[in-house]
């Protein structure tokens, strides 16, 4: 099985500041897909952003952007202008061209007013 590592179990950020969540993965494939999911206290899993490995340009969705370093097998999530509603557990996920997704253990983000 592929492994996805999130080395930061907990992070905190001041409201309006920027925070970066780390994710690394292990693969020998060249074609794969990466995702960040958000899980607020409601428990609902929500897609934040995704990146196709063949694309060199880093994905961006409003205040959320990624730093995709293919050679380093790194996929970090940057949240700009943090808001109270960003407080959640964040999961990094990896999928090859097959059907299985592999998830990291999550990073709990606290936003301090």
Partner 1 sequence: NAGVTQTPKFQVLKTGQSMTLQCAQDMNHNSMYWYRQDPGMGLRLIYYSASEGTTDKGEVPNGYNVSRLNKREFSLRLESAAPSQTSVYFCASRRRANTGELFFGEGSRLTVL
Task: Identify which of residues 12 and 44 has a Cβ nearer to partner 1 in the complex.
Answer: 44
Minimum CB separation of residue 104 from partner 1 in Å reads 6
Task: Identify which of residues 64 and 103 has a Cβ nearer to partner 1 in the complex.
Answer: 103
Minimum CB separation of residue 18 from partner 1 in Å reads 25
CB 64 within 8 A of CB 79: yes
Task: Identify which of residues 18 and 105 has a Cβ nearer to partner 1 in the complex.
Answer: 105
Task: Identify which of residues 14 and 109 has a Cβ nearer to partner 1 in the complex.
Answer: 109
3-class DSSP string for 15-30: CCCCEEECCEEECCCC
What residues make contact with partner 1 under the rule CB under 8 A? Answer: 1, 4, 9, 33, 35, 37, 42-45, 47, 50, 52, 91, 93, 97, 99-101, 103-106
Minimum CB separation of residue 30 from partner 1 in Å reads 14
> What span, in angstroms and rounded, lies between the C-alpha atoms of 43 and 46?
9
CB 108 within 8 A of CB 56: no
* 7 C-beta neighbours (distance < 10 Å), count: 11
């Amino acid at each position: 099985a592929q492994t996805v590592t999130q080395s930061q179990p907990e992070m905190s950020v001041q409201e309006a500041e920027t925070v970066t969540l780390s994710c690394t993965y292990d693969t020998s494939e060249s074609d794969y897909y990466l995702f960040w999911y958000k899980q607020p206290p409601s428990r609902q899993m929500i897609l934040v952003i995704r990146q196709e490995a063949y694309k060199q340009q880093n994905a961006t969705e409003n205040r959320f952007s990624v730093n995709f370093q293919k050679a380093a097998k790194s996929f970090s999530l940057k949240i700009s202008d943090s808001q109270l509603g960003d407080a959640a557990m964040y999961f990094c996920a990896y999928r090859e061209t097959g059907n299985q997704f592999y998830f990291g253990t999550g990073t709990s983000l606290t936003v301090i007013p």
